[in-house]
């Protein structure tokens, strides 16, 4: 009897060891003060928690659910208060994203410092904290300082982005740098062309390489200084840690992005934040939408760009266009009052977007082209009218237009007639809707669920403590070897020198023979005269 009990106790003991053996501790650092980024990361962190892992998550959008065990949140929501009120629409008139980046670097550094400075976070990374982790997950957009934490805890790092990879990351993971390819959302503000001229490509080449150069020689060292300030001087060069990232989860699903070659440790993700269970609408809104028998239009410029940023003229164009529509318009407008609001327009400060998109009476979604909103529109089969403002939004809307599921208009030059025409054709011509439904089917038709796949890869990295077999040595190539720039330069130089030498020799020969010929003639002439 006692023998049996001892055996049972031993079994339970070993089972618990085994169980602990499968559960890992994961440090997650996601400092972007932007909800649309955070909802993507949260999709993965909650799924990892479900799998039994223990997570510490640094985020400005904590879930704050006391029932979530093994999920410690370090709340950096104060970063939203530090947030600068940028008028992105005004910005669009004046700059390309790739140039504008340099205006926000002070803010990026400040956010980095403020996050490192958080007392709860300090307790985690302090040298004597006793904290141990098996993996670090972090947003790889413009936050290289946090990569140093991977060294502090001696863990592999998985990078993650809520949109396609930024140029700086394309470079550091060893992807080919395609200076004029449409997947470079960094280049876009307005002027993205599917068939750029030679001159435009020259300009893109210059801009892209200048950005990569400045990023690595100015931005990285400043971030390195921040990392050293909080973690000590032992921190290796951040660029080297970045080149060693185990995996990168990139939010770019094939059917809805401009395809490009990626190194094998870039793993496509998507739709992490799209809810399977939609929360019901408020009674009022539900009633309004149900009663919109003609259908309704939903307009939102997202969480970063606000409709209140529209200048008077653009606003009045929107109002004039909406007032002529036979539909109800639900407008996410962040103010109490919209002067001149037509009767068929309802303004709401905050919109339960997925529930609105799910309503069967919805005809079209007027939006800013954010990737998360695009994914939501597709998953509810709603055609779109895009007014892109910044970052990857032009690219997303261009792709939607090329797939025939939407139209593109210009936010800095809103014209009521164009808007009416766009809404009417998308709403009444059923082919937009049909193509959107087809696209939804295409996205769903895949061998695995994207989120489960990302969980599998995360655990794969933990199991093997890194995945060097997926890493391409292209990441180690210096810039001048990428695309064989040095070889092309050498060939071009040799060619130019040869042509110049040959021309010089030919010229000399010509001059020499002219002389002889000239002499000959004058001799002949003299002889004739005799």
Residue 282 per-residue DSSP state: P
Coil, strand or helix at 276? coil
Residues in the interface with ligand NAG (CB under 6 A) total 9
Q: Return d(Cα 183, Cα 167) in angstroms, integer.
A: 10
Residue 220 CB, nearest distance to ligand NAG (Å)?
13
Choose the stretch contacting ligand NAG; rule: CB under 6 A; options: 235-243, 398-406, 476-484, 514-522: 235-243
- Cβ proximity to ligand NAG, 169 vs 299, nearer residue: 169
Contact flag: residue 23 with ligand NAG (CB under 6 A): yes
| Residue with the two structure tokens 């993650």 | 160
| Residue with the two structure tokens 């599998």 | 456
Q: What mask, x for binding ligand NAG by CB under 6 A, covers residues 63 to 102?
A: ------xx--------------------------------
Residue 14 CB, nearest distance to ligand NAG (Å)?
16
Give first-to-last CA distance, the chain, whole Å.
143
Contact flag: residue 157 with ligand NAG (CB under 6 A): no
Contact flag: residue 131 with ligand NAG (CB under 6 A): no
Contact flag: residue 334 with ligand NAG (CB under 6 A): no
Choose the stretch contacting ligand NAG; rule: CB under 6 A; options: 124-132, 233-241, 306-314, 417-425: 233-241
Q: Return d(Cα 486, Cα 527) in angstroms, integer.
A: 60
Choose the stretch contacting ligand NAG; rule: CB under 6 A; options: 28-36, 238-246, 403-411, 488-496: 238-246
Contact flag: residue 486 with ligand NAG (CB under 6 A): no
Which parts of 242-301 interact with ligand NAG (CB under 6 A)? Answer: 244
Which of 106, 221, 232, 236 touches ligand NAG (CB under 6 A)? Answer: 236
Contact flag: residue 311 with ligand NAG (CB under 6 A): no
H runs (alpha helix) in 311-429: 312-323, 353-357, 371-379, 393-402, 416-428
- Cβ proximity to ligand NAG, 113 vs 476, nearer residue: 476
Choose the stretch contacting ligand NAG; rule: CB under 6 A; options: 240-248, 275-283, 337-345, 435-443: 240-248
Distances (CA, A) of 295 to 8, 333, 424: 65, 20, 12
What tokens appear for 510 in the block?
């010509």
Which parts of 27-56 interact with ligand NAG (CB under 6 A)? Answer: 54
| 454: enclosing H helix or E strand | helix 450-464
| 489: enclosing H helix or E strand | helix 485-529
Residues 409 and 384: beta-carbon distance below 8 Å: no
Q: Return d(Cα 120, Cα 130) in angstroms, integer.
A: 14
Q: Return d(Cα 171, Cα 511) in angstroms, integer.
A: 52
Nearest to 36 by CA among 357, 392, 281, 298: 392
Choose the stretch contacting ligand NAG; rule: CB under 6 A; options: 186-194, 236-244, 248-256, 345-353: 236-244
Residue 70 CB, nearest distance to ligand NAG (Å)?
4
Phi, psi of 501 (to 5 degrees): -65, -50
Where does this chain bind ligand NAG (CB under 6 A)?
A: 23, 54, 69-70, 236, 240-241, 244, 468
């Amino acid at each position: 009897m006692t023998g049996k009990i001892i055996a049972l106790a031993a079994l339970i003991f070993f089972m618990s060891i085994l169980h602990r053996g499968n559960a890992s501790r994961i440090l997650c650092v996601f400092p972007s003060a932007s909800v649309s980024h955070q909802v993507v990361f949260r999709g993965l962190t909650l799924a990892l928690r479900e799998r039994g892992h223990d997570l510490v998550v640094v985020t400005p959008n904590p879930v704050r659910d006391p029932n979530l065990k093994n999920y410690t949140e370090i709340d950096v929501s104060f970063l939203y208060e530090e947030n600068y009120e940028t008028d992105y629409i005004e910005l669009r008139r004046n700059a390309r994203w790739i140039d504008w980046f340099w205006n926000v670097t002070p803010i990026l550094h400040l956010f980095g410092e403020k996050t490192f400075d958080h007392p709860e976070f300090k307790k985690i990374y302090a040298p004597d904290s006793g904290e141990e982790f098996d993996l670090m997950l972090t947003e790889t957009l413009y936050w290289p300082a946090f990569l140093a934490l991977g060294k502090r805890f001696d863990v592999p790092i998985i990078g993650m982005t809520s949109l396609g990879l930024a140029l700086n990351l394309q470079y550091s993971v060893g992807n080919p740098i395609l200076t004029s390819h449409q997947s470079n959302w960094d280049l876009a503000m307005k002027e993205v062309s599917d068939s750029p001229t030679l001159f435009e490509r020259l300009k893109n080449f210059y801009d892209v390489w200048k950005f990569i150069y400045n990023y690595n020689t100015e931005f990285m060292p400043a971030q390195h200084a921040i990392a050293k300030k909080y973690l000590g001087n032992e921190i290796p060069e951040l660029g080297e840690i970045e080149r060693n990232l185990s995996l990168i989860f990139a939010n770019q699903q094939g059917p809805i992005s401009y395809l490009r070659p990626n190194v094998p440790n870039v793993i496509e993700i998507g739709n992490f934040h799209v809810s399977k269970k939609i929360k019901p609408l408020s009674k009022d809104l539900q009633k309004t939408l149900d009663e919109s028998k003609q259908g309704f239009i939903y307009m939102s410029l997202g969480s970063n760009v606000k409709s209140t940023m529209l200048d008077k003229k653009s606003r009045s164009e929107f109002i004039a266009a909406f007032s002529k529509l036979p539909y109800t318009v639900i407008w996410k407008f962040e103010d109490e009052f919209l002067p001149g609001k037509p009767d068929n327009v309802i303004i709401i400060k905050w919109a339960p977007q997925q529930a609105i998109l799910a309503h069967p009476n919805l005809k079209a979604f007027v939006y800013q082209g954010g990737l998360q909103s695009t994914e939501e529109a597709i998953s509810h089969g709603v055609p779109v009218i895009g007014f892109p403002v910044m970052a990857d939004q032009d690219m997303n809307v261009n792709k939607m237009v090329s797939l025939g599921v939407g139209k593109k208009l210009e936010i800095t030059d809103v014209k009521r007639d164009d808007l009416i025409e766009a809404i009417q054709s998308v709403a009444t011509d059923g082919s937009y809707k049909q193509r959107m439904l087809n696209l939804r089917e295409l996205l769903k038709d895949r061998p695995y669920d994207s989120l489960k796949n990302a969980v599998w890869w995360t655990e794969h990295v933990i199991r093997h403590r890194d995945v060097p077999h997926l890493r391409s040595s292209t990441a180690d190539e210096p810039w001048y070897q990428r695309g064989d720039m040095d070889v092309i330069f050498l060939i071009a130089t040799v060619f130019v020198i040869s042509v110049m030498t040959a021309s010089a020799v030919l010229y000399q020969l010509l001059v020499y023979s002219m002389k002889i010929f000239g002499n000959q003639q004058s001799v002949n002439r003299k002889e004739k005269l005799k």
